[in-house]
Amino acid sequence: MSMDTSVFGIKPPNETWRAMKAVYDACTKAQIGIPKEVDDYFDGEEPDPAGVVVDLQLSGSGCVSSYRGNASEGLEVDLKKLPKDMTILRFVNSW
């Protein structure tokens, strides 16, 4: 079994995020389907309290690249290529 590392960028909640979260919560409470626009906004996931989560390896920004060194490998993030409103990086290891 091998480990996989992913890098996500997080944009803190703004007015749009709060409005979408309110709709998500209302639909969940009423036990009705989440509207497609809201579901797409949260990428099909439950809203993350940290804000909008973007998979940087799939985003097309080109900010994440593979790194290989002396007996090590990993990922590098070019901070200059991140959107200005992205304030958190989340590194996730999964097996």
Please tell me the predicted confidence (pLDDT) of residue 70. 86
Lowest mean pLDDT among 36-40, 48-52, 64-68: 64-68
Q: Is there a contact between 85 and 3 (Cβ–Cβ < 8 Å)?
A: no
* Residue ranges of domains in the chain: 4-94
Residue 23 phi, psi (nearest 5): -65, -45
Q: Give the amino acid at 64.
A: V
Percent of the chain past pLDDT 70, that is, above it, reads 100
Percent of the chain past pLDDT 90, that is, above it, reads 64
In this predicted model, what pLDDT tens digit does every residue of 20-32 receive, in sequence order?
Answer: 999 999 999 999 9
Q: Who's near 84: CB < 8 A, 6+ residues apart?
A: none
How far is it, in rounded angstroms, from Cα 3 to Cα 23?
A: 36
Please tell me the predicted confidence (pLDDT) of residue 48. 96
